[in-house]
Amino acid sequence: LTVTIVEADLARPEHGQAVLDLIDAYAADAFGRGRPLDSSARDALVPGLRAVPTTMILLAYDGSRPVGIATCFRGFSTFAAKPLVNIHDLAVLPSHRGQGIGRQLLDAVEQKARALGCCKVTLEVQEDNRRARRMYEAAGFAQTVYAEGAGGALFFSKPLSPARPVAVRRPESAD
């Protein structure tokens, strides 16, 4: 199997299509969200990624067929005062798993991050995703421990629903 890893150029329609197909397949996976993308997300995905200046996407090709993706965003560590790369999605088509493609994508992200002068590569993985965890651990990733004896990092989030409008006072009405 000859795998080629390329950085996606989202101005190219074939790269945009590859990103859409691979993210859709990942969304449908049990370790994605178990169902494909909604049509609104399908329409907005590539233009949205193009509008984000820190987007960095690597695609894995088996010949001319796109089979794997690492969607990353550049970030910045204030304490190290250096950029970082966050891996937001890493996925390989089910037909192509177990052949080293995931690891090749991971290694390519690391190489890219080093070239950008980054201090680290970050990612989140589901606790029960043993396959992905094994791959990350074999590549040198470990759960973040911020301080001695403080345990690992907890990932917090707050979904923002448009359903509940929040009253915002206009500046001129503030006293």
Ligand X SMILES: CC(C)(COP(=O)(O)OP(=O)(O)OC[C@H]1O[C@@H](n2cnc3c(N)ncnc32)[C@H](O)[C@@H]1OP(=O)(O)O)[C@@H](O)C(=O)NCCC(=O)NCCS
Binding site for ligand X (CB under 6 A): 26, 29, 31, 90-92, 97-103, 125, 129, 131-132, 134-135, 138
Rounded to a whole number of angstroms, the minimum distance from the CB of residue 96 to ligand X is: 7
> Is residue 96 classed as helix, strand or coil in its secondary structure?
helix
At 155 the three-state DSSP class reads: coil
Task: Decide whether 42 or 96 has the Cβ nearer to ligand X.
Answer: 96
Q: How far is the CB of 87 from ligand X (least distance, A)?
A: 8
Closest approach of ligand X to the CB of residue 98, in Å:
4
Q: List the one residue out of 66, 50, 31, 123 whose CA is nearest residue 58.
A: 66
State which residue has the least CB distance to ligand X.
Answer: 102
Residue 96, burial from CB neighbour count under 10 angstroms (0-12, 13-18, 19+): middle
Whole-number Å distance between alpha carbons of 97 and 173:
59
User: CB-wise, 47 or 95, nearer to ligand X?
Assistant: 95
Nearest distance in Å: CB 50, ligand X: 23
Nearer to ligand X, 32 or 83 (CB): 32
Shortest distance, CB of residue 66 to ligand X, whole angstroms?
Answer: 13
d(C-alpha 58, C-alpha 65), whole Å = 14
Q: If you search the block for the tokens 């329409």, which residue do you land on?
A: 43
Nearest CB to ligand X, comparing residues 110 and 147:
110
Sheet holding 3-7, edge to edge: 3-7, 55-62, 65-77, 82-92, 121-123
Considering beta carbons, is residue 101 or 118 the nearer one to ligand X?
A: 101
